[in-house]
Amino acid sequence: LQFPVNPDFNADSQEGIGYYQVTQRDGRRWSSAQAFLRQVEGRANLHIITDARAERVLMNGKSTVGVAFRQGRESKKLKLKPGGEVLLSGGTVNSPQLLMLSGIGDRAVLRHNGIPIVHDLPEVGQNMADHLDVTIMNAANSRKPIGVAASFIPRALGGLWSYIFSRRGFLTSNVAEAGGFVQSSPDRDRPNVQFHFLPTYLKDHGRKLAFGYGYTLHICDLLPKSRGYISLKSSDPMADPLIQPGYLADPDDLKTIIAAFKIGRRILDAPAMAAHSAAEVHPGPSVQTDDEIAAFIRDTAETIYHPTGTCRMGADAESVVDASLRVRGISGLRVVDASIMPSLVAGNTNAPTMMIAENAADMILGKVGTLDANAA
């Protein structure tokens, strides 16, 4: 299809098809907790509390003084020492929820939920953006993919042996190494579509078994115009927040995903891939027209876990955090997670979020100044 091969998506050009870099070590997925936390968890000045849930930030006027949390049935409080700070890292969903539970947010939302107003900050929870994803699945004409079938058991046992004793083999795979970035139309000035290819069936994020041998192509709109929000259902900190992602609220987003879906089909129908296909099984050959593709997208599209923006960083007074990630109008409180992104990055959010944390650590230690609110 004349898409360029790209050996490094983090180099000068993002466009093309290739292998992704992954957070992995010795054949295992390596989380940020393993990479950063495990090596320092023995420090005397670090206390890790698990099986607990933050309830709210404790305030004295507009100064942060601690955190209230619940562990089991018991409510507890952590008080800050003089000069200390609270860093919220609850993510795009829970950081704005905690701010609102603490009385920081839109006045109307706080009043509706009976929460005393500490600081009226209407953009808390707003500006939510996420990558919407749709999949195509083909049945394979061989047993080359990773399959859920009795005939796969010998290969699975061999893979388990290789993984246990040498950390090699297909069980070291994140199952989505291959993919790439393309433009949904020639008038785009940068890639706005991302692909993840999986040499197996993946149905409902793996929650549902799909028997047999097949492969899946994930198709993602990287630069959606639609925006949603996070709000409160209740003042109860144990209650789930109200999540309204606003997918496809802007009609241009549906047009983009339809175009991207057609490109995905072209990839799977190209000779090199078609040689492995028995048939398209999801959505299948009955879905052809734009209206049929649109209906399929509305019925099946889902998050690919990249929500951002609900505690937007900015230079303007309406933004939730400033360029040092401090919550505007409040002292001693920062937000350090993907919720501070002013706009959604055109790619996975995992590495950028870790870099936000790296920069925040340097700012707290006085090693650097501020982040650039316009960099995204």
Q: What is the rounded distance in angstroms from the CA atom of residue 310 to the CA atom of residue 92?
A: 6
Q: What is the rounded distance in angstroms from the CA atom of residue 2 to the CA atom of residue 198?
A: 21
- Domain end (from 303, 338, 353): 303
Residue with tokens 């083909």: 138
Is the pLDDT score of 376 beyond 50? no
Three-state DSSP class for residue 146: coil
- Domain end (from 257, 272, 303): 303
The total number of residues written for the chain in this structure: 376
Is the pLDDT score of 295 beyond 50? yes
Residues catalogued as catalytic: 306
Report, as an integer, the average pLDDT of 213-234.
97
- Give the pTM: 0.91
- The radius of gyration of the chain's CA atoms, rounded to the nearest angstrom, is 23
Structural domain includes residue 371: no
**CATH code for position 335:** 3.50.50.60
Q: What is the rounded distance in angstroms from the CA atom of residue 173 to the CA atom of residue 19?
A: 12
Q: For 49-74, give the DSSP string.
A: --SEEEEEEEEETTEEEEEEEEETTE
Residues 296, 267 share a domain = yes
Report, as an integer, the average pLDDT of 322-336.
97
- The region that residue 343 occupies, defined by phi over 0 for left and psi between -120 and 50 for alpha, beta otherwise, is beta
Q: Judge residue 4's burial from the number of C-beta atoms within 10 Å of its C-beta, 0-12 exposed, 13-18 middle, 19 or more buried.
A: exposed
Report, as an integer, the average pLDDT of 167-187.
93
Structural domain includes residue 87: yes
Residues 316, 240 share a domain = no
Residues 260, 197 share a domain = yes
In this structure, what DSSP letter does residue 187 have? T
Residues 140, 180 share a domain = yes
Contact present, 194 and 44 (Cβ < 8 Å): no
Report, as an integer, the average pLDDT of 319-338.
97
Q: Find the distance separating the first CA and the last CA of the chain, reported in whole Å.
A: 30
pLDDT at 369: 65
Structural domain includes residue 34: no
pLDDT at 205: 82
Residues 115, 245 share a domain = no
Report, as an integer, the average pLDDT of 245-260.
97
Report, as an integer, the average pLDDT of 120-132.
97
Q: What is the rounded distance in angstroms from the CA atom of residue 64 to the CA atom of residue 75?
A: 18
Residues 315, 198 share a domain = no
Peptide bond into 283 cis (omega under 30): yes
Q: Judge residue 199's burial from the number of C-beta atoms within 10 Å of its C-beta, 0-12 exposed, 13-18 middle, 19 or more buried.
A: buried
Which residues does residue 317 pair with via DSSP β-bridges, in sequence order?
none
Report, as an integer, the average pLDDT of 88-117.
97
pLDDT at 367: 83
Residues 139, 235 share a domain = yes
Q: Kindly report, residue by residue over 133-151, the tens digit of the pLDDT.
A: 999 999 999 999 999 999 9
Mean pLDDT of the chain: 94
Q: Kindly report, residue by residue over 10-63, the tens digit of the pLDDT.
A: 999 999 999 999 999 999 999 999 999 999 999 999 999 999 999 999 999 999
- Domain span at residue 351 reads 49-128+308-364
Contact present, 215 and 198 (Cβ < 8 Å): yes
Q: What is the rounded distance in angstroms from the CA atom of residue 367 to the CA atom of residue 324?
A: 12
Report, as an integer, the average pLDDT of 297-321.
96
Contact present, 109 and 100 (Cβ < 8 Å): yes
Report, as an integer, the average pLDDT of 349-373.
86
**CATH code for position 137:** 3.30.560.10
Residues 262, 330 share a domain = no
Residues 183, 109 share a domain = no
| Residue 242: both structure tokens together | 């109200």
Count how many domains the chain has.
2
Q: For 290-344, give the DSSP string.
A: HHHHHHHHHHH-EE-S--B-TT-B-SSTTSSB-TT-BBTT-BSEEE-SGGG-SS-
pLDDT band at residue 206, thresholds of 50, 70 and 90?
A: confident
The residue among 370, 356, 375, 303 whose CA lies nearest residue 95 is: 356
| Residue 36: both structure tokens together | 């950063």
Structural domain includes residue 40: no
Residues 136, 70 share a domain = no
